[in-house]
Amino acid sequence: MPQVRNPILPGFNPDPSILRVGDDYYIATSTFEWYPGVQIHHSKDLANWELVTRPLTRKSQLDMRGDPDSCGIWAPCLTHDGDKFWLVYTDVKRKDGSFKDTHNYIVSAPAIEGPWSDPVYTNSSGFDPSLFHDPDTGKKWFVNMLWDHRRRPLLFAGIALQEWDPSSGKLIGPRKNIYQGTELALVEGPHLYKRNGWYYLLTAEGGTGYDHAVTFARSRDIWGPYETHPDKHILSSKDHPHAALQRAGHGDIVDTPDGKTYLVHLAGRPTTQRRRCVLGRETAIQECFWKDDWLFVKDGPVPSLYVDLPGARDEERYWQTQKYSFNSNDGLHKDFQWLRTPEAERIFNLQDNKLNLIGRESIGSWFEQALVARRQEHFSYDAETVIDFSPTDEREFAGLTAYYCRYNFFYLIVSAHSDGQRELLIMASEASWPVGNLNLPLSNPESVVIPNEGKVRLKVTVRGKELQFWYALEGDGELQKIGPVFDASIVSDECGGHQAHGSFTGAFVGMAASDLNGTARVASFDHFIYTPVKHSSDRYDI
């Protein structure tokens, strides 16, 4: 079989849940505050994946306005019971402090493309829910981690099991804490399986940082007791700081038609000596084998960078330049997402082959900001656009941004001074948690006065840890540098809000607009181009 280099889903694609239906494989991943909710990729060979749908597309399914950064959709679980697809997910409204407000829902669909149902509410006792269809009894079982704000004795209190009745849409019968994990603690991300008369429970432990791990346990009875794997953690990089794939954990398993078992899991590829994961938590895959009714990762527990898969990856596709036009008949390209709101018409539209962003709240707002962006999937890249925007003062601004959250972004804007004179300005929020202040003052000496009429070409180049902005005025083909070289590694999990086990997304690049005067001034963008760049510093790029 061909060897494929991990990750199989590069860029922000964490918490993978994998499923096979016939010859088709599907992976669902978390999207957090990005809308629409949940990404589902499809593959025929485990090596080449195509984004096919984001099922949570309307207000009745998901409204994340007010959700803080790295809240929203956590750890979806995608299953099939022989009749239809089932998707379980958490909408997190609060994550910091002693309490977590975590509401769990189930939607279903006859086909992966939909139509997906309105959600059925299940519970709010914890997060990372999963639905297990018992092949022998026909019952459906709901598991999620339990949160205990008292820490009596554990904050991550264990894995709760309860039967779920699809006819009534309710949890029924007793609820039991069936597994509390190992001494690594922070048990979460449960998935149940059945094989050879055993019930298997796969969980994540150690938090989603550098101590992350996949733990495995089994029982003859679904209610337990569950015996922990003799190796405890079947996958982890925690004791191997030089492994290419770090932060390895939160996994799910799938069998191929010929009986091989694979584990998908999240992982990070840190850059610079500060070990920052700009691309966020990505989806990787490992070959596994069974011995004495226990699952083992081939060459584990450390994740392998190269894995034998049924298919060979199309490497050329990974390095292709993506040129996006904004044709209203085609709709917004599936690579793009926006933040939190189900009412997309309030923040953007496609007209006359342009993307029109309707200026709303400030960049970083947890309610309604006009920001449309795509994932950064390469350590080095170029991105550019052309903007047509006529601001009246400093409270109206729009442009090109490399964005993680309100606490870490770089933003080249077209704005105006208080006298109405247009200018280019760079806003930078560099690891500014918890205050969220800009690093550069509004009297930024790097600002450039530009004519009040005419389009402006904006570009950002990222080469490893170095980020540089560029611009060109309409009619002037030559790009000019603007501003200093910034530290591109700032746009990473490790520099977000609540950095320790608290930032869960990844870097995006895209277009944004704000109107703090409240007049909804529109900024128009002609196109967007994303070009991957091979660079000598990117030793772990695919």
What one-character-per-residue DSSP string does 214-266 give? Answer: EEEEEESSTT-PPEEEEEEEEEE-TT-TTSSSEEEEEEEEEE-TTS-EEEEEE
Cα separation values, 307 from 3, 46, 264, 432, 436, Å: 5, 11, 11, 39, 41
Q: Is 15 a known active-site residue?
A: yes
Instruction: Count other C-beta atoms under 10 Å from residue 256's C-beta.
Output: 15
Intervals of the chain under pLDDT 50: 441-443
pLDDT score recorded for residue 443: 45
pLDDT score recorded for residue 383: 98
pLDDT score recorded for residue 537: 64
pLDDT score recorded for residue 246: 97
The two three-digit tokens of residue 156, written as one number: 């991550």
The two three-digit tokens of residue 149, written as one number: 């704000």
Q: Is 494 a known active-site residue?
A: no
Is residue 538 exposed (0-12), middle (13-18) or buried (19+ Cβ within 10 Å)?
A: middle
Q: Please name the residues in contact with 510: beta carbons below 8 A apart, sequence gap of 6 or more.
A: 336, 371, 372, 373, 374, 383, 400, 401, 403, 528
CA atoms of 293 and 193, how far apart (whole Å):
13
Closest of 485, 461, 477, 269 to residue 384, by C-alpha: 461
CA atoms of 505 and 404, how far apart (whole Å):
7
Render pLDDT for 106-135 as a digit per residue (tens, 0 to 9): 999 999 999 999 999 999 999 999 999 999
Determine the residue type at 268.
G
Q: Decide: 145 and 160 in contact? Cβ < 8 Å.
A: yes
Name the region of 82 (left: φ>0; alpha: ψ -120 to 50; beta: rest).
Answer: left
Determine the residue type at 254.
V
pLDDT score recorded for residue 500: 63
The two three-digit tokens of residue 481, written as one number: 């540098």
Q: Decide: 221 and 256 in contact? Cβ < 8 Å.
A: no
pLDDT score recorded for residue 442: 42
The residue from 33, 91, 188, 211 that is catalytic is 188
